[in-house]
Chains A and B, each alone.
Chain A
Amino acid sequence: MIGVGKMKQYSNVLDKPLSKGKQEVSLSAFAFLFSELVQYNQTQVDNIAELERRLEDAGYAVGSRVLELLCNREKGNRRETRLLGILSFVHSTVWKVLFGKVADSLEKGTEHEDEYMISEKELLVNRFISIPKDMGTFNCGAFVAGIVKGVLDNAGFPAVVTAHFVPIEGQQRPRTTILIKFADEVLKREARLSQ
């Protein structure tokens, strides 16, 4: 009879310990997976804004899980309640776990009170991607912007997060900036808490 044999015992994921996991994953494997993700979404939509939104949604799911997991692993269950705290958490801890290094810089926007920027010379997800001219300002860093949005949103700091290319003189490839614009309630709460 086909199929007769020893039944494999599947242990439930809840029984396994929450381990540190493998620290490193193959970059080429991730590049293939990400390119397939972008291509799949490209076939489903017919304009750039929708494509960016879909990448952002994919990143959002990652961000919400990464936040909870990292707070348990790295920070010993202490929550962030202040704006600068959560921004430096994203800038160092999240970046280190996801991309292996801290982000290049974290700056406060000069024009508006509620804008912050995380810049990176070369985003890991964009490393093997080139944007054709007819796609204009599309940036696959929307995925990373979605991750940041997921982390901030779920920590209680709702924000609009976007990814932009910033051309730098003297460098061939432009720098990527993640622009974070916080919602009003965040600023009000910050002001209230800092009294």
Chain B
Amino acid sequence: MANTACFMIVARNDIPIYEAEVGSAAKREDAAQLHQFILHAALDVVQDLAWTTSAMFLKSVDRFNDLVVSVYVTAVFKMLVCFFLNLTTHTRLMLLHDSRNEDGIKSFFQEVHELYIKILLNPLYLPGSRITSTHFDTKVRALARKYL
């Protein structure tokens, strides 16, 4: 059972439109910023990789244990691995996680993808703006508890 996880949806222009800490352990003070930093750093890697494959689910793209900063991180968190789902409209669903439950993560991504499509179909929703629906938030957290 994983104890730290950070989930983020990033739109085409690299602006996050949704973020959630879905870990089940007690949170450290700087954990949230650190997770976001890692996810942002991995965006460049994903961008290049996105054009070479037509698959959507990119698995562990960036291991955060070969930078100087990460030595401290890995001593505490073990290895944090990023998972990505690249949508056709180049919206990225990103998950930072420290377990390797790939099937669970893939199913989690697929379910959140469907939720995201339902939000997108709303004609009054401007694509690329923040997702503020509390119902969406509740559902994502429920899915996270179920699959992660």
Binding site for B on A (CB under 8 A): 12-14, 16, 18, 61, 64-65, 67-69, 71-72, 77-81, 85, 154-156, 189, 193
Contacts and interface: CB of A to CB of B under 8 A. Distances in A.
A14 B56 contact: no
Contacts of B86: 79
Size class of B's contact patch? 20 to 34
Interface of B: 12, 50-57, 86-90, 110, 113-115, 117-123, 127, 133, 135-136, 139
B119 to A, nearest CB: 7
A65 B87 CA distance: 12
A18 B118 CA distance: 7
Nearest to B127: A64
B56 A65 contact: no
B141 to A, nearest CB: 13
Contacts, number: 71
Closest 10 CB pairs of A and B: A154-B89, A71-B88, A77-B56, A79-B88, A12-B135, A79-B54, A78-B54, A81-B54, A18-B114, A68-B89
A87 to B, nearest CB: 15
Contact of A154 (B12, B115, B123): B12
B51 A193 contact: yes
Q: Which of A16, A78, A85 has the most CB of B within 10 A?
A: A78
A155 B139 contact: no
Contacts of A69: 117, 120-121
B73 to A, nearest CB: 32
